[in-house]
Every structure is written in C-alpha cells, then in structure tokens.
Amino acid sequence: MGYMQEARENHVKKKVEEALRSKMKQKALKECDEYTSKYAQCAAGKTLSIVWQCRKQAKELNDCLHQ
C-alpha cells in the first residue's frame, strides 16, 4: 500500500469517527436534556460557586452523558 493511499484511508477513518462522535453527542444531549436544564438553572448567575453548589446536578448530567 502506498503512502498516499494510506494517508487517504486514515483521513476517511478520521472523518467517519468525527461524524459518529458528533451524532453520539447530539443524541446524548437530546436524551439528557432534563439534566442539562437542571444544571443550567443551578449555574445561572453563579461563578466559582458552581463547583460546590451544583455538584449534584453536574454528577447527574455526567452520569447521563456517559450512558
């Protein structure tokens, strides 16, 4: 296999991976919309305090997204 053909195949593989990752992200965000809203409501108007005040909502959102 030549260098150019191998480079093209790697490029195509990366494009396919990017497309799949994008679709998975869209699906996860759609399915986790409830948790995203809860986190956004908690985070509204906060800065550094988000870390400890919204810990529960962040964990719920991350758990949902990882599924």
Q: How many domains does the chain have?
A: 1
State pLDDT tens for residues 16-48.
899 999 999 999 889 999 999 999 999 999 989
Interior angle at CA 22, CA 18 and CA 37, nearest 5: 155
Tell me the pLDDT band of 3, cut-offs 50, 70 and 90: confident
> What is the total residue count of the chain?
67
- CA dihedral sign, ordered 58, 63, 66, 67: negative
Higher pLDDT, 1 or 8: 8
- Strands in 1-67 per DSSP E: none
Tell me the pLDDT band of 13, cut-offs 50, 70 and 90: confident
Distance separating alpha carbons of residues 64 and 10, to the nearest angstrom = 32
Distance separating alpha carbons of residues 61 and 10, to the nearest angstrom = 33
Domain assignment of residue 44, given as a range: 3-66
